[in-house]
Amino acid sequence: MKRIFRSKVFYLLIFLVTLGIVLIFNNDKVPTEKLTKDEFFTTLEDGKVTFLELEPQKSVYEISGRLVGYEKDQYFIASVPNSEISLDRMNNAVREQDIGKIEFMPQDIETSGWVNLFTTTIPFMIIFILVFVSFLFLFVIKRMKHSK
């Protein structure tokens, strides 16, 4: 058994398994194609888009989707300004074309780091203060009993 652990093959195997696990869980989708705003609207109006996913990000819409002929794991991304003109243009093109699926993702609300810090630490601080005050009262009561 000691021979196995001393062997370089054992450590190489552990490294490869760890690397495989990291690669499986860190498999971010890489876009096949990045379209400009004009290219996106042109392909959308020409009916070459089969799937759309819109996600609002501050002053733009991050759009990902699939074009005609794309495989299941292929997709494009585009950024479109968050304006009435862009929304009207997208809505008109979607009404005219047969797009299989449209998903509208809600905007992620980012909380401040300070808010996260306070909401996670304040309950523990309150418990600590309550325990401290109760010990302080017990100490004061014992002192009062001994002084009489």
pTM attached to this predicted model: 0.49
Q: Are 80 and 60 in contact (CB under 8 A)?
A: yes
Handedness of CA 83, 85, 90, 95 (dihedral sign): positive
Cite the DSSP H helix spans in the chain. Answer: 2-6, 8-25, 37-45, 84-96, 113-147
- pLDDT at position 2: 60
Return the SS3 of 62: strand
Q: Are 80 and 61 in contact (CB under 8 A)?
A: yes
Q: For domain 30-104, is the CATH number 3.30.720?
A: yes
**pLDDT mean over 97-119:** 74
Query: Which of 55-59, 71-75, 86-90 is the least confident region?
Result: 71-75
Residue 132 clears pLDDT 60, i.e. is over it: yes
- pLDDT at position 110: 72
- pLDDT at position 122: 92
**pLDDT mean over 119-138:** 92
- pLDDT tens, residue by residue, 22-58: 776 665 555 567 888 888 888 888 888 888 888 888 7
Kindly give, in sequence order, each residue whose CB lies less than 8 Å from that of residue 53, ignoring residues fewer than 6 positions away: 63, 64, 65, 102, 103, 104, 105
Q: What is the mean pLDDT of the chain?
A: 80
